[in-house]
Amino acid sequence: MAPWSGLWGGKLAAGGGGGGGGGDHYRGTPVVVKMENPNWSISEISSPDDDDDEEFLVGGRRKGGRGKNAKQITWVLLLKAHRAAGCLASLASTAVALGAAARRRVAAGRTDADASAAAAGESPVLRSRFYAFIRAFVVLSVLLLIVELGAYINGWDDLAASALALPVIGVESLYASWLRFRATYVAPFIQFLTDACVVLFLIQSADRLIQCLGCFYIHLKRIKPNPKSPALPDAEDPDAAYYPMVLVQIPMCNEKEVYQQSIAAVCNLDWPRSNFLVQVLDDSDDPTTQTLIREEVLKWQQNGARIVYRHRVLRDGYKAGNLKSAMSCSYVKDYEFVAIFDADFQPNPDFLKRTVPHFKDNDELGLVQARWSFVNKDENLLTRLQNINLCFHFEVEQQVNGIFLNFFGFNGTAGVWRIKALDDSGGWMERTTVEDMDIAVRAHLRGWKFIFLNDVECQCELPESYEAYRKQQHRWHSGPMQLFRLCLPDIIKCKIAFWKKANLIFLFFLLRKLILPFYSFTLFCIILPMTMFVPEAELPDWVVCYIPALMSLLNILPSPKSFPFIIPYLLFENTMSVTKFNAMISGLFQLGSAYEWVVTKKSGRSSEGDLISLAPKELKHQKTESAPNLDAIAKEQSAPRKDVKKKHNRIYKKELALSLLLLTAAARSLLSKQGIHFYFLLFQGISFLLVGLDLIGEQIE
């Protein structure tokens, strides 16, 4: 029988079957323990006299197979201790770096209350009211923490049980009176709010779970929208297949970073050139940007592309006004479909071939929507967290609603509309900041159906700075509430099925656009800290930890590579609830910031290979003076820009105030020994602190 050799096993010389004579064997494995310091290493070999053979081997095996050399264990433990010390040093340096960044933020003094932020974002009146509301809670929580800390030090905790029955004299009487008042008047009110928010939380969680089950069913049954007509043949023979007239629109406004690749991508769509026209709808107010875009269009015109440049003198209505103006052109009547791409979107050449065929022999179909993919999803933590949200939105929400309801909110880009459906629904309207959702709801009320293609992707960018992301989310959550106010009478009066009306009112608007930001902010940012100071009102552990963890797990399933970020995702979503709640309130009550439109800042991220791949086939082998020089474009984008204005990270006062509130509540939870609540409040408070100091996303100096 061969001698046993394992992880910690001894090595025997050949022929030494059980431990008999011969000095050419030794017991113990030679181990070389290398420390992090590369200048030295230690080799330890066990001595043949360490143990007797009878104790060491039993039938050629170790006793239990678990014998270990004590010196080896010592060195392994030293190695692990050394690595742990290295990790601690790394964490310490990271903490020092974060502290230095925070100090620079505070020293710079640029907050979200600056005039530039007010002009581009929220109403100063609303912001001051909302901030005053949060600040009042912070002051109250600090005072209560001082009171509770004093009671804990003086041993007055026992009064909590007897305060309702026994009068106490002196300072203790004041504390006993507070306990009686808290239990009689404050706790029932907070418990009522808690129970109401928990009910809303459970309803929204059930909706999320049902959507995930629907997505699982779609994947299990391999349900997929298929065009009724066969696949299109090669575009060189347009008479042999279905190639309707398609109008392609690229609305843009001061998109200096991304206009080249978007125009190049659209001009290279694999479609008969005589059957599609590109409209570059430039709303830029910067003369330099206008000139650059106009010259780019001219280059593609000289190369044979059917492309026109349009610039409005009166820039009313933002994107909706831009699209409405373009649809008023006389030649639009010659086209049957319109494809829309925002300035940072780069469709694949086969985009029209994979979307337009769905319209053939399907006269009720009004919209075909493709999903988004992101060129910069791994750029920083902020883009990774956004990718989780949007992957769930497309993979679950849009796909499930498209398959089972034939309706979803149009994403504003990467979609193809039947022009007849747009006209029948009233065309583009400028009444909200979510013109895409507006036209989708009106088309749904007119009976048009939608298709979502989960396997057709269009590349675009994610906001890389928190300021840009915050402004985008404000518009995305304010607009639906504006639209809900405006279209509610039309939904009620419309002659569609009752279940469709119920879906629009209760699920599409109320549950997913109003209740979600409301309970996220109220439950986790206000009620949870209050229950720490009013322990008579209880918030169960499963509401604080288990259900949110399950929902976060469901959200992250469509992007499994993001699983390591599940905890930051949960904390960041609760942090963003402040911005979403603020936007929802401003849109619902038509406050000053409801109609603010801020174009999301792009960085223009495209590799040289992406740009070269967009070159026309004839340009890959020869270059003319009139052809777009894509090599120069790539070099220009990779080179540092000298004319970019200097920007700075900001300090966000509401997030900082809430971080103080949550950290104060975490300190209070220590006195009552509530473990899960303490850890949740602690990490959530740190998350608010990092966001409040703008330490997430792109770092701008």
CA 102 – CA 291 distance, rounded (Å): 41
- Tell me whether strands 337-340 and 246-252 are parallel, antiparallel or unpaired: parallel
CA 249 – CA 692 distance, rounded (Å): 38
Written as one string, the DSSP assignment of 448-484 is -EEEEEEEEEEEE----BHHHHHHHHHHHHHHHHHHH
Q: Is 436 a catalytic residue?
A: yes
| Paired tokens of 36 | 């992090």
| Paired tokens of 125 | 């009146």
Sheet arrangement for strand 415-418: 307-311, 276-282, 246-252, 337-340, 415-418, 365-374, 449-460, 346-347
**E-state strands within 448-592:** 449-460
The active-site residue, picked from 112, 342, 344, 436, is 436
Question: Which uninterrupted H or E stretch holds 310?
Answer: strand 307-311
Q: Are 515 and 521 in contact (CB under 8 A)?
A: no
| Paired tokens of 45 | 């070999």
CA 118 – CA 108 distance, rounded (Å): 18
3-class DSSP state of 23 = coil
Q: Is 49 a catalytic residue?
A: no
CA 5 – CA 24 distance, rounded (Å): 17
CA separation, residue 20 to residues 28, 42, 53, 215, 459 (Å): 16, 30, 9, 67, 71
Which residue(s) pair with 248 in the sheet?
A: 278, 339
Question: Which uninterrupted H or E stretch holds 272?
Answer: none
3-class DSSP state of 408 = coil
Which residue(s) pair with 282 in the sheet?
A: 252, 311
3-class DSSP state of 371 = strand
The rounded radius of gyration (Å) of the Cα atoms in the chain is 32
Q: Are 448 and 419 in contact (CB under 8 A)?
A: no
The active-site residue, picked from 283, 342, 438, 694, is 283
Name the CA dihedral angle for 313, 316, 320, 321, rounded to a multiple of 10 degrees.
-50
> Which are the contacts of 595, defined by CB distance < 8 A and separation ≥ 6?
433, 482
| Paired tokens of 389 | 């949200």
**DSSP single-letter state for residue 639:** S
CA 129 – CA 126 distance, rounded (Å): 5
Give the number of other CB atoms < 10 A from CB of residue 489.
Answer: 9
Which residue(s) pair with 268 in the sheet?
A: none
**DSSP single-letter state for residue 686:** H
Q: Catalytic positions, please?
A: 283, 436
